[in-house]
Amino acid sequence: MPSIPTVMERGDYEDYESLPKPRTIKGGESMRVIVADDYEIMSKEAAKIVADQIRKRRDSVFALPTGGTPVGLYAELIRMHKEEGLDFSRVFMFNLDEYIGLPEDHESSYHFYMYDKFFNHVNVTRDKVHIPHGLAEDPEEEAADYEWAIKRVGGIDLGVLGIGRNGHIGFNEPKTEFGSSTRPIYLAKRTIEANARFFEGDHEAVPRRAISMGIRTIMNSRKIILLANGTEKSHAIYQTVHGPVTEMVPSSVLQLHPDCTLILDKDAACELEPSPNGFVPGRGIRTMVY
């Protein structure tokens, strides 16, 4: 396992914007990677970027993930709202995905998750919150309306992503076309297995379909951050950063995005090669550019 390069000390890391912009490498692509010592620091780094975006533009448009990974991010944003007055009232939220077939009050639906883990605890404006409707009569039409709703508010400013073990982003599973927009999809077997833990371990209970933002929808975000923790994500992260850009690994497309930052804990970063570019120190974090 390659070790992550050590960094020079240059005082505390406070200001995300002061970090050097990724250098252009590999014929135009580059990726910034922040490796945090632990999950809590990873979550706080992500929250700082979200908060900076809101402070820069109060009516920013976000794409937001669900799952185990972002729970700490949402907890930190709630703390920032309560203790620092971070204001969500003008912010637009668009969930990356929702299961088809679950009612919104089902405890495993992403509606339920988002309100339970985040929205109920901050001052979001309800009609600025968008999550695909899993019980829509016509999922194709629901997806098309969703895509249109994103365009109507000017597109996504900051796309926040998790990643599946198979490299999926949103519910865009391997072989999804990079040109895809929001649409109904089928979950991969590996995703059903991984998500069974949110259905009391019952694979049969996991819906087979979902509505997901497309890869192109995500790639149109002005800025993207992707969070990952744990060794079970380390290979997908390796492929995201070092692998070929291929529809077999949906997250590999992020190599083509002009402003993408991966925020990882050490375990998720453990397969990464030492950075060929600069890195910047901070308390509990290292930053690398590939």
Dihedrals φ, ψ of 223, to 5°?
Answer: -145, 150
List the catalytic residue out of 168, 229, 267, 271.
Answer: 168
- As given in the structure block, the two tokens for residue 170 are 């949103």
d(CA 199, CA 13): 39
174 binds ligand PGA (CB under 6 A): no
**Which CB sits closer to ligand PGA, 177 or 193?**
193
Q: Which of 173, 247, 267, 271 is catalytic?
A: 173
Query: Minimal distance in Å, beta carbon 99 to ligand PGA?
Result: 12
What is the smallest separation between the CB atom of 234 and ligand PGA, expressed in angstroms?
Answer: 13
Interacting residues of 261 by C-beta distance below 8 A, sequence separation 6+: 31, 32, 33, 34, 49, 223, 224, 225, 226
Is residue 211 within 8 A of residue 185, CB to CB? The reply is: yes
Q: Residue 127 catalytic?
A: no
| Closer residue to ligand PGA, CB minimum distance, 139 or 170 | 170
Q: Does 258 bind ligand PGA (CB under 6 A)?
A: no
204 a catalytic residue: no
Among 164, 214, 250, 282, binds ligand PGA (CB under 6 A): 164
Residues 59-98 that bind ligand PGA (CB under 6 A): 67-69
- Footprint of ligand PGA on this chain (CB under 6 A)? 67-69, 162-164, 168
Catalytic positions, written as ranges: 97, 166, 168, 173
